[in-house]
Chain A
Amino acid sequence: MTVITDAAENVAGAGVSGSGRVRRLTGGDKIVLGLMVGVPTLLHVALVWVPTLVSILLSFSQWDGIGGLATIKWVGVQNYTTMFTVSPTFWPAVQHNIIWLVFFVLLPTPFGMFLAYQLDKSIRFTRFYQTAIFLPVVISAAVTGFIWQTIYDPDNGLVNSILGTNKPGTSYIEWLGDSHLNLWAVLVAASWRQAAYIMILYLAGLKGFDPALREAAALDGATEWQAFTRVTFPALRPINIIILVVTIIESLRAFDLVYVVAGTNGTKPGLELLSILIANNILGESSLVGYGSALAVVLLVISLVPIVSYVFQTFRKDQQA
């Protein structure tokens, strides 16, 4: 500690100038500030925003990644044409991402909000309920995948054992193998996490909400539903926006759970997602840099909608202040 402070004094120099008057920022201070903001920003830009831009650039190219940078061929919008018209996996992936989002918006997110609303009513055992329901968020999505594999396993899984549908030939449900079923099975597993995550976020929002408002509504004869929809919900606009953004972003980011339950290489018919297709272009046998980048650009464009609206919404107030 002392060593560091001594060094700091040396680096920053004296804060007080010769005349005894306080200068706002000495030269040393400026260097320190420059480093403090420069190094992290440089790292962030170099590893996040530069690749984002390069992704756009590379999406107009063809490159197998084997030769050097000189072997990159520029092919215009060919990757996009292939993606939109030829690729057998692109549209299913888009469709699955949309289903994922709609499902999240309609089921686990409102359910998580509902749980939060109930848990906020200063009831007994609320700690226990919260801890139990929140556990899935602490467990990684990958481990969640393994846990749900033991639930969905066609021969030995919990679901088929209970339903008696674990007899090959007569009645047999392959929850994760059947391409008409597996997306829904995975969505249930993902909802296990999502609802809990939303619950805790919304609970935080509700804690900051003045209960007097709700009580006033109740005194005025509002039903609980009316009080929620007309008083609580509108008052929690900022947290509602966060929850919407989190839900959209989580739907676009969905990867780990699907990759794990899909088994080798993370691909299985019925479980294509944009994120999975992009990763396949890196982990798989065929490394199509240009095509993978074009997929990434599609994901980027979709993601920018919630990101930009959220960022502007959040920081507009700061600017006015």
Chain B
Amino acid sequence: MTAVAEVTAAAASRPAPVQRRKRVRPARVVLHVFLAVTALVWLVPLVWAVYTSLRTFADTSAHGYFSLASSLTFENYENAWEQAGLPQYFLNSVIITVPAVLVTLLFSASVAFFVSRFNFKVNLFLLMLFTAGNLLPPQVIITPLFRMYLLIPLPDWLSNGSGLMYNSFLGVILIHVAFQSGFCTFVLSNYMKTIPHELTEAALVDGASVFRQFWQIILPLCRPAFAALATLLTIWIYNDFFWGLVLFETGADRPITSAIASLQGQYFSNQNLIAAGALMTAIPTLVIYLALQRQFVSGLTLGANKG
């Protein structure tokens, strides 16, 4: 955790050109105007959606949407929350996201440990396999995967009653794990390569088993990378639309991101409600991002910096 912060802080506080002149240069002013305008333009769609969501339908139908609001209210949020049964979908998202993130991290850490601490011939092939798999568009595999899921029976307690891999939380969790472990293995193996070999060798001399080296030495040292990847994965998996849409037959079990598509038209009859529903879906990710911005960004850059 602190290491990530330090790295980013160090990068950010890179020796700035010594400021001899206090005079404001015109180029700087132009740059600030440009960046400020860009940032504001970038916020417009979001602000417009928030504005729409806070107005009543009566208000907007009387005055149009492009008008000053006579009053602002959270009514649409309440309606979307209750009428469309959003709590259930949020719960589905949690049921899928939490195990998917944890298992992805555990699996990727295991493979990364293997390829980074031992010199086996298969290492390079494994890394290539995982990385390439992660880059495939999901639509390439969906047709056979969908059929496979329809053919794999599961006990009811694992499949929320469907009896199949299709329609089950487990099915969606597993495909997330399979896909995301590509990226995470790549990132974690690069991270683990930076941990000195002397550490595990010393443990080996002390008689520590491979599992102990992994669990008690390597994993704790990877905490910064885990923090970054966990943040990133949570947002990615929560934001998944495709798997949740295709691997569930009906809306009821879908995670929130996929469910809002089917709620449109069914419950969300006007723009104000749509905006409120969509924004509520985005709130968890926005909160995570604003709270853990450093982790999120360093997660992305961990993957990008080594190329």
Closest-by-CB residue of B relative to A273 is: B139
A15 touches B136 (CB 8 A): no
A318 to B125, CA, bound (A): 11
A22 to B206, CA, bound (A): 8
Q: Is B181 an interface residue (CB 8 A)?
A: yes
Q: A44-B182, A147-B275 given as contacts; is B207 within 8 A of A16 (CB)?
A: yes
A274 touches B301 (CB 8 A): no
B304 touches A37 (CB 8 A): no
Interface size class of B (residues with CB under 8 A): 35 or more
Residues of A within 8 A of B43 (CB): 132, 135
Within the complex, what minimum Cβ distance (angstroms) separates A200 from chain B? 6
Closest CB pairs A-B (n = 9): A12-B209, A161-B66, A204-B301, A238-B307, A140-B239, A146-B278, A40-B107, A36-B110, A51-B141
B143 touches A15 (CB 8 A): no
Residues of A within 8 A of B144 (CB): 50-51, 54-55, 58, 293
A-B contact count (CB 8 A): 348
A146 touches B212 (CB 8 A): no
B235 touches A138 (CB 8 A): yes
A315 to B260, CA, bound (A): 40
Query: Could you list 7 examples of A-B contacts with CB < 8 Å?
Result: A51-B143, A121-B31, A132-B42, A133-B39, A136-B46, A143-B279, A260-B261
B136 touches A303 (CB 8 A): yes
* Most chain A beta-carbon contacts within 10 A, residue among B114, B118, B132: B132
Q: A55-B144, A122-B14, A142-B241 given as contacts; is B301 within 8 A of A255 (CB)?
A: no
B135 touches A29 (CB 8 A): no
Residues of B within 8 A of A44 (CB): 129-130, 133, 178, 181-182
Residues of B within 8 A of A39 (CB): 107, 110
Q: Is B297 an interface residue (CB 8 A)?
A: yes
Within the complex, what minimum Cβ distance (angstroms) separates B306 from chain A? 8
Within the complex, what minimum Cβ distance (angstroms) separates A64 from chain B? 11
Contact with B along A278-291 (1 / 0, CB 8 A): 11011100000100
A136 to B45, CA, bound (A): 10
Closest-by-CB residue of A relative to B210 is: A29
Within 8 A of A (CB), among B56-88: 60, 64-66
A14 to B75, CA, bound (A): 64
Q: Is A150 an interface residue (CB 8 A)?
A: yes
A118 touches B35 (CB 8 A): yes
B49 touches A150 (CB 8 A): yes
A142 touches B124 (CB 8 A): no
B207 touches A259 (CB 8 A): no
Q: A142-B261, A259-B241 given as contacts; is B139 within 8 A of A274 (CB)?
A: yes
Contact with B along A124-165 (1 / 0, CB 8 A): 110011011111101111110011111101001110011000
Q: Is B157 an interface residue (CB 8 A)?
A: no
User: Which residues of A line the B interface, CB within 8 A?
Assistant: 4-5, 8-9, 11-16, 22, 24-26, 28-29, 32-33, 36-37, 39-41, 43-52, 54-55, 58, 65, 69, 115, 118-119, 121-125, 128-129, 131-136, 138-143, 146-151, 153, 156-158, 161-162, 189, 192, 196, 200-201, 204-205, 207-208, 211, 215, 238-239, 241-242, 245, 249, 252-253, 255-256, 259-260, 263-264, 274-275, 278-279, 281-283, 289, 292-293, 296, 299-300, 303, 306-308, 310-311, 313-315, 318-319
Q: A118-B34, A319-B124 given as contacts; is B282 within 8 A of A140 (CB)?
A: yes
B261 touches A278 (CB 8 A): no
Q: Is B286 an interface residue (CB 8 A)?
A: yes
Q: Is B258 an interface residue (CB 8 A)?
A: yes
B285 touches A139 (CB 8 A): yes
Closest-by-CB residue of B relative to A29 is: B210
Closest-by-CB residue of B relative to A317 is: B307
Q: A43-B107, A158-B48, A256-B242 given as contacts; is B140 within 8 A of A282 (CB)?
A: no
B136 touches A5 (CB 8 A): no
Q: Chain B at the A interface: mostly helix, strand, loop or mixed?
A: helix
Q: Is B5 an interface residue (CB 8 A)?
A: no
A48 touches B278 (CB 8 A): no
* Most chain A beta-carbon contacts within 10 A, residue among B31, B126, B271: B271
B66 touches A22 (CB 8 A): no
Which residue from A13, A37, A140, A308 sits with its C-beta under 8 Å from B110? Answer: A37
Q: A282-B246, A315-B124 given as contacts; is B257 within 8 A of A52 (CB)?
A: no
A46 to B277, CA, bound (A): 36
A255 to B138, CA, bound (A): 10
B209 touches A310 (CB 8 A): no
A205 to B239, CA, bound (A): 25
B126 touches A37 (CB 8 A): yes
B239 touches A141 (CB 8 A): yes
A230 to B138, CA, bound (A): 38
B301 touches A26 (CB 8 A): no
A215 to B17, CA, bound (A): 9
Q: Is B101 an interface residue (CB 8 A)?
A: no
A29 touches B239 (CB 8 A): no
A142 touches B260 (CB 8 A): yes
Q: Is B300 an interface residue (CB 8 A)?
A: yes
B215 touches A8 (CB 8 A): yes
Contact with A along B3-19 (1 / 0, CB 8 A): 00000000110111100
A14 touches B207 (CB 8 A): yes
